[in-house]
Structure 1
Amino acid sequence: MEVTLLGTGDTTGTPTVGCDCDTCQRARSMGVERTRFSVHVRSASGQSLLVDFSPDFRSQFLREDLEPPDAAVVTHIHFDHLDGLGNVYRLADDLPVYAADETDPATGESVARTVRERYDYLDAVSVEPTAPFEPVRAAGLAVTLVPVDHPPFLCYGLLVEDPETGGRLALSGDTSYDVPDRSLAALSGADLLLADGIVPAENCEYHPLGGRHHDDAGVPRTFGDKHMTVEGARQLGDRLDAERTRLVHLSHYIPADRAFEDDMAVDGERFHL
Structure 2
Amino acid sequence: MEITFLGQGDSLGTPRVYCGCGVCEEARTTGANRRLRSSLWLREEGEQPLLLDCGPDWREQMESVGARGASRALLTHAHFDHIGGLVDWADACRWTDSTADVHAPLEVLEEVRERFPWIGSRLKMHANDGGMVYGRWNIRPWKVNHGKNGYAYAYRFQHQDTGKAWAYCSDSINLPETQKAPLRGLDLLVLGTSFVLEPYPMETRSVYDMKEGLALAEEVGAGRVLFTHLSHDVDVRRDYNLPAHVRLAETGMTVTV
- TM over 0.5: same fold? yes
Change (3 A) 1:68 1:160: farther
**Residue 97 (1) aligns with residue 102 (2):** yes
- Give the Cα–Cα distance (whole angstroms) in 2 for the partners of residues 17 and 96 of structure 1: 33
Q: How far is the alpha carbon of 1:154 from its aligned partner?
A: 2.4
- Is contact 2:33-2:236 (8 Å) kept? no
The aligned amino acid for 1:99 is A
- Is contact 1:26-1:256 (8 Å) kept? no
What secondary structure does 1:239 align onto?
helix
The aligned amino acid for 1:40 is W
Change (3 A) 1:255 1:7: closer
**For residue 231 of structure 2, what is the aligned residue in structure 1?**
251
- Give the Cα–Cα distance (whole angstroms) in 1 for the partners of residues 222 and 188 of structure 2: 6
Q: Which runs of 5+ in 2 are unaligned?
A: none
Q: TM-score, normalised by structure 1?
A: 0.80
**For residue 154 of structure 2, what is the aligned residue in structure 1?**
157
- Give the Cα–Cα distance (whole angstroms) in 1 for the partners of residues 105 and 17 of structure 2: 33
**For residue 230 of structure 1, what is the aligned residue in structure 2?**
210
Q: How far is the alpha carbon of 1:54 from its aligned partner?
A: 1.1
Instruction: Tell me which of 177, 180, 191 is aligned to 1:181.
Output: 177
**Residue 6 (1) aligns with residue 10 (2):** no
- Is contact 2:74-2:104 (8 Å) kept? yes
- Give the Cα–Cα distance (whole angstroms) in 2 for the partners of residues 259 and 30 of structure 1: 17
- Is contact 1:158-1:187 (8 Å) kept? no
- Is contact 1:71-1:139 (8 Å) kept? no
Instruction: Tell me which of 191, 196, 213 is aligned to 1:200.
Output: 196
- Give the Cα–Cα distance (whole angstroms) in 1 for the partners of residues 158 and 68 of structure 2: 21
- Give the Cα–Cα distance (whole angstroms) in 2 for the partners of residues 256 and 249 of structure 1: 13
- Is contact 1:95-1:124 (8 Å) kept? yes
Q: CA RMSD in A?
A: 2.4
- Give the Cα–Cα distance (whole angstroms) in 2 for the partners of residues 9 and 65 of structure 1: 21
Q: How far is the alpha carbon of 1:64 from its aligned partner?
A: 1.9
Change (3 A) 1:38 1:225: same
- Give the Cα–Cα distance (whole angstroms) in 2 for the partners of residues 66 and 161 of structure 1: 26
Q: TM-score, normalised by structure 2?
A: 0.85
Q: How far is the alpha carbon of 1:269 from its aligned partner?
A: 0.7
- Give the Cα–Cα distance (whole angstroms) in 2 for the partners of residues 261 and 94 of structure 1: 46
- Give the Cα–Cα distance (whole angstroms) in 1 for the partners of residues 35 and 85 of structure 2: 16
- Give the Cα–Cα distance (whole angstroms) in 1 for the partners of residues 240 and 46 of structure 2: 34
- Give the Cα–Cα distance (whole angstroms) in 1 for the partners of residues 191 and 108 of structure 2: 21
Q: Deviations over 1:40-97 (max 9, x none)?
A: 1112223221111111000011012134333211111111011111121243423221
Shifted more, 149-158 versus 248-257: the winner is 248-257
Shifted more, 62-71 versus 77-86: the winner is 62-71
**Residue 172 (1) aligns with residue 169 (2):** yes
Q: How far is the alpha carbon of 1:237 from its aligned partner?
A: 1.6
Q: How far is the alpha carbon of 1:259 from its aligned partner?
A: 7.7
Q: Deviations over 1:137-180 (max 9, x none)?
A: 2466422111111134221111123446654321123011x223
Q: Which runs of 5+ in 1 are unaligned?
A: 102-109, 213-223
